[in-house]
A and B are shown apart, each in its own frame.
Chain A
Amino acid sequence: MADSSASVARTSPPNTLPVVGKSDTKPTWCPGCGDFGVLAAIEMAVKRLQLPSHNVVVVSGIGCSSNLPHFLSSYGFHGIHGRALPVAEGIRWANHGLTVLATGGDGDGFGIGAGHFVHTMRRNVDLTYVTMDNQIYGLTTGQASPTSMMGQKTKSTPEGVIEMPIDPIALALAAGATYVARGFSGDVKHLADLVTNGIRHHGFSFVDVFSPCVPYNKINTFDFFRQRVYKLEASGHDPSNLSLAFQKALEWGDKIPIGLFYQVERPTYEDLEEVLSAGPLAQQPAGLAGHDAILDEFQ
């Protein structure tokens, strides 16, 4: 056996069970980046829920926003581009006693990871997915993203985008997500409520966040959204009505809704996977002890 018994440790005694807070790593985002507001909102949410650091895993892919797990004191998995959700699902199924959040950008979630986005929602895996949607590729210095608006000029579309943008909210509703919300990083308190309720929600929670990119998206800026967003909660929207949720999802123009579009209770994948009814997989016995008779089927 390798010398994996080397000693390890940390400063806090184990019985204090500190809750999730900031890590000692400072964000490397540009000044004014929308992602700061999202991080602040997630911090508020996990603090409000008093989630202990050791029981939370934050999973991400690649992109500016995918660096987020490093800035929290929980466990984290900073994987490859587009694959945050399958990693997060694997973690949930290995140990559904953990609170699992997935974070990332619009390119990560709706471009290279679009397939996983749809399938994770139809499974209703109990995790919270927060996308920092800036409608541009920031880390790669400004190419069109799946949510860039028609006509937007970027480095990869100098004559303007000629594809319809994905509507993440409508897509989530169609794919069967059971908690569908949209926030704005310019309204951290409202966003923190959406994330808090998303984590509380029993099932897949999706929170798409307008999180402006200062250097590369000169259209969808903080001002752009400040002038347009209004809160569904204040407009009397009924989040239990799927048809109304679709109608609201399609609103895009002078008025853009934020808040909770839709919420419904449905059994989660973990509820329906019979093996998990015996408790978190990681705590179940492994191997064939007591199963020697299994060889009889090969007679």
Chain B
Amino acid sequence: MSEIIVRTGGEAGDGIASLGEMLTRSFARMGLHVFGLNAYQSVIRGGHVWFQARASEVRPFSQGDGADILYCLNRETFDIHRADLRPGAIVIQDPEKFPLAPSDVPAGAKLLPVPTLAIARKYATQAILQNAAGLGAMAYLAGIPLPVLHQVITDSFGRKAGDVVTWNLGASADGYEHARQHSGANDRAVAPRGEGKLVLSGNQAIALGAAAAGVKFLAQYPMTPASSIMHWLAAHSRDLGIVVKQAEDELAAINMAIGASFGGVRSMTATSGGGFSLMVEALGMAGMTETPLVVVESQRAGPSTGLPTKTEQGDLRLMIGAGQGEFPRAILAPSHPKEAFLATIDAFRLAEEWQTPVLLASDLHLSENFATVDRDELPLHPEIPSVATATLVPGTDYHRYQYTASGVSPRSIPGQPGLQYVAGSDEHDERGHLISDVRSGVPVWVAERKKMMDKRMKKLDGLRRAAPTPLVEGSPNAEVTLVAWGSTVGAIRDAMPLLDHQGIPTKLLFVRTVYPLATEEITEILENAKRTLLVEANYSGQLGQLLRQETGVLLPNRLLKYDGEPFYPHEIVAKVREMTGHGGQ
């Protein structure tokens, strides 16, 4: 089998995420590509949480559809997920936890009872050890060799007391053996293939990318789903020499980051939409003072507190419009951890080069889910030009905001002798002197204000040329061009080969930089498309509105989702079939 989807669920506190992560790592070490979806709620105990690991010979870009193995830690998990079982699927459960008859399982699926609690009791009194038995059973059915699983368990629990590792190894071996003896014929298993891969969440990729780009300072206030960026950098703070500051609020976080950047280090902040709303005023200050800054905006379902643990792409308009007045910015929207790593480096490069804020638009689906990446896909040592570009020229005055063809002026750093200036959030002249008070309205300064606006806004042309270009993938004679940004691209990339098999060639237009748009290129692609389908995780089709505004092209067909859940490939397949007159599958 070339692909397998393993799903497991229970209550918050059952250790589901940890199970999922160990499964994901095991597949990755077998050399398979994996996508790991961690679905959880805004509670610490109780509720329903589940994890889905999809392993495949070719890279999956989404969690995929359905499940081949379902390990249920409670009855609710079975009830919720039974409808997704694919033909030949196997359900693992412990009859001691809840009764389940073979007849309860849908036709075509099989039941594998495993005495997980009894196995756990062999080793210790902690019931959580049942997970190891369940993990062993899943591993056997999925084709994960026991030594691979055991190495992952040892690495995961390595820092805990010796007994914990031993118990987990024992219980998982028992679960594995039980499945081997009782599962009968098993055609679900995948086979190892080649060198192991790395597993990164989107946020880990962003944090790693920032470190590679030379970030020295992060200030952040905790907010799901951005917090794990701070967690990773804090854990590596001493080793990498990066100051990580949990600020008193998002206002402080972004202002600290701007101060640190002004002070001469690469600097960033990260948040979700609520925190970003608080950062809006300071974002404009970074634009006005021409201070490089990277802001990660990991969106979650809004408005207001919304659904804190669910995904959405509802903040595009917010990010484009954030801040009073007008100033240059760029907004990058990667779709996969590998791209998030590279886009973070791009964000730092653009911020440094163009001396202006750059937003990295993520969302919960990208930030918190896991995917495999090959080592050589992560260039750890990118070249980014130095922060200080001003040098002392005797006999002339230093003009921090000197008019230039590109709009970028030589920047000095405090500590450099002779290059002092005041960075002003008020409008200012080339030297940084205010033209907001006694000079405003005086004709010569009226002209100066316009020139300074023109200088800053000119940077947008440069950003447009320097930012990641739109990606076009798929068939040149596509019947439908799918248009998307950010994490939504994942399910589209998985749907396209399925549609190909069904005789419906498609194309993807992935708008990797949502601002400023590569207007000419995108207009040409859209105008030459036979049909388009806009796919976005928001209510009003915000990218579609932006594209219409910037290109004049209306995208009449829209697949919009705003229920908090990520797109699944089958949803895109169904919509494309419907609009091309192919009806249901």
Hey, which bits of chain A sit against chain B, CB under 8 A?
A: 1-14, 17, 25, 28, 52-55, 57, 59, 62, 67, 69-70, 73-80, 82-83, 86-95, 97-98, 115-116, 118-119, 273-276, 278, 281-282, 284-289, 291-292, 294-295, 298-299
Contacts and interface: CB of A to CB of B under 8 A. Distances in A.
B482 to A, nearest CB: 30
B251 interface: yes
A78 B426 contact: yes
A119 B410 contact: no
A93 B245 CA distance: 10
Nearest to B208: A294
B411 interface: yes
A256 to B, nearest CB: 31
30 contacts: A2-B354, A4-B410, A4-B411, A5-B389, A5-B410, A8-B396, A8-B399, A8-B410, A10-B394, A11-B396, A28-B438, A54-B415, A55-B414, A70-B434, A82-B251, A89-B256, A90-B219, A94-B259, A115-B249, A116-B255, A119-B248, A275-B241, A281-B241, A282-B413, A286-B214, A286-B265, A287-B381, A288-B212, A294-B236, A294-B240
A77 B289 contact: yes
Interface of B: 25, 28-29, 155, 196, 198-200, 204, 208, 211-217, 219, 236-243, 245, 247-249, 251-253, 255-267, 281-282, 285, 289, 353-355, 373, 375, 378, 380-381, 385, 389-399, 402, 404-426, 433-434, 437-438, 459, 462
Contact of B267 (A67, A75, A94, A95): A94
B259 A87 contact: yes
Contacts of B459: 2
A244 B245 CA distance: 34
Given A10-B392, A12-B418, 8 more contacts: A1-B353, A11-B395, A54-B419, A69-B422, A79-B285, A90-B258, A93-B243, A287-B212
A288 B212 CA distance: 5
Contacts, number: 277
B282 A8 contact: no
Contact of B391 (A8, A285, A295): A8
B462 to A, nearest CB: 6
A241 to B, nearest CB: 29
A10 B438 contact: no
A276 B419 CA distance: 25
A80 B397 contact: no
B433 A10 contact: no
B434 A91 contact: no
A92 B405 CA distance: 33
B466 to A, nearest CB: 8
Contacts of A295: 198, 375, 378, 380
Given A94-B260, A286-B216, A14 B392 contact: yes
Contacts of A17: 417
A287 B155 CA distance: 27
Nearest to A76: B422
B380 to A, nearest CB: 5
Contact of B264 (A1, A52, A94, A273): A94
B217 A281 contact: yes
Contacts of B378: 295
Among A74, A97, A281, A298, max chain B CB count under 10 A is at A298
B258 A74 contact: no
B277 to A, nearest CB: 15
B420 A73 contact: yes
Contact of B213 (A91, A274, A287): A287
Contacts of B255: 79-80, 83, 86-87, 90, 116
Contact of B265 (A74, A75, A94): A94
B416 A9 contact: no
A246 to B, nearest CB: 24
Among B238, B258, B405, B438, max chain A CB count under 10 A is at B258
Contacts of A12: 418
Contact of B437 (A28, A59, A82): A28
A95 B381 CA distance: 24
A299 B26 CA distance: 9
A89 B263 CA distance: 10
B215 A286 contact: yes
A288 B344 CA distance: 14
A56 B156 CA distance: 48
A37 B252 CA distance: 30
Contacts of B289: 77, 79
B380 A292 contact: yes
Across the A-B interface, give the 3 residue pairs with the lowest CB-CB distance, nearest first. A90-B259, A94-B263, A9-B393
Given A3-B404, A275-B242, A90 B263 contact: yes
B392 A4 contact: no
B266 A286 contact: yes
B216 A281 contact: yes
Given A91-B263, A286-B214, A298 B418 contact: no
Contact of B417 (A52, A97, A119, A284): A52
B421 A75 contact: yes
Contacts of B373: 298
A4 B394 contact: no
Given A75-B414, A295-B198, A80 B263 contact: no
Given A8-B390, A295-B198, A299-B29, A76 B263 contact: no
Contacts of B413: 282
Contacts of A86: 219, 247, 251-253, 255-256, 259
Contacts of A97: 415
A2 B260 contact: no
Contacts of B407: 2
